[in-house]
Structure 1
């Protein structure tokens, strides 16, 4: 994969950190979540360097895993999400986070739909 683009997106306005996406020439995307540090010093400019550092660490760990216990030791079951675990508090927290991330939006969230009747002509 040859990286042709990098996109940095703030998580919760940068308070939770940044996600860095490395886009490949074949449409591949590698996303690295960089959590905000205690000092709050992570920003758009240094998030890319942090993501590259995290990838280097992950690659080094991946190379060490087969020696530590074979390929089976490298895989584990996926963690359950809030919906599967029926965790209403976590789902509410995720909804609030999503709303915070999209506020202020140009159009408010609406459950109603509007339709325009066809067949009427203006006179």
Structure 2
């Protein structure tokens, strides 16, 4: 992935921090939120560099604070969990009701005037 752009967005209220978004050439977006600390001189100009530092620490991390190894959570589809996928589908359909009802289609034929 090649980074083709960055966006720095104020976050956490006034002077609370920033969200830095790195945009990849394939449309990927990675967001890093950074809160300002009292001792930290965080501003728009250095927020991108601070976000890069955070990402590199995450990339290099092998264990969590509690000693457990980091793991990537799979989606239900990637894990092949049919039951969970069915539950998610049902929840999604319930959330769109009544839009999930089939559309009723009717047609009317209006005869044109007859030619004599």
Return the TM-score normalized by structure 2: 0.52
| Number of residue pairs aligned between Structure 1 and Structure 2 | 70
Counterpart of 2:41 in structure 1 is 41
Structure 2 residue ranges without an equivalent (≥5): 74-116
8 Å Cα contact 1:14/1:43 also seen in 2 = no
5 Å-filtered alignment, 1:1-123, equals: 1-39=1-39, 41-61=41-61, 64-65=62-63, 73-75=69-71
Mark the structure with the bigger radius of gyration: 2
Give the helix-richer structure, 1 or 2.
1
Q: 1:40 to 1:54 in 2, by over 3 A?
A: closer
Return the TM-score normalized by structure 1: 0.50
User: How far off is 1:30 after superposition?
Assistant: 0.3
Instruction: Extract structure 1 runs of 4+ deviating beyond 4 A.
Output: none
| Separation in structure 2 between the aligned mates of residue 40 and residue 50 of structure 1, nearest angstrom | 10
Q: Could you say what the CA RMSD is over the residues aligned between the two structures, in angstroms? A: 2.5
| Separation in structure 2 between the aligned mates of residue 21 and residue 33 of structure 1, nearest angstrom | 9
| Separation in structure 1 between the aligned mates of residue 59 and residue 21 of structure 2, nearest angstrom | 17
| Separation in structure 2 between the aligned mates of residue 12 and residue 73 of structure 1, nearest angstrom | 30
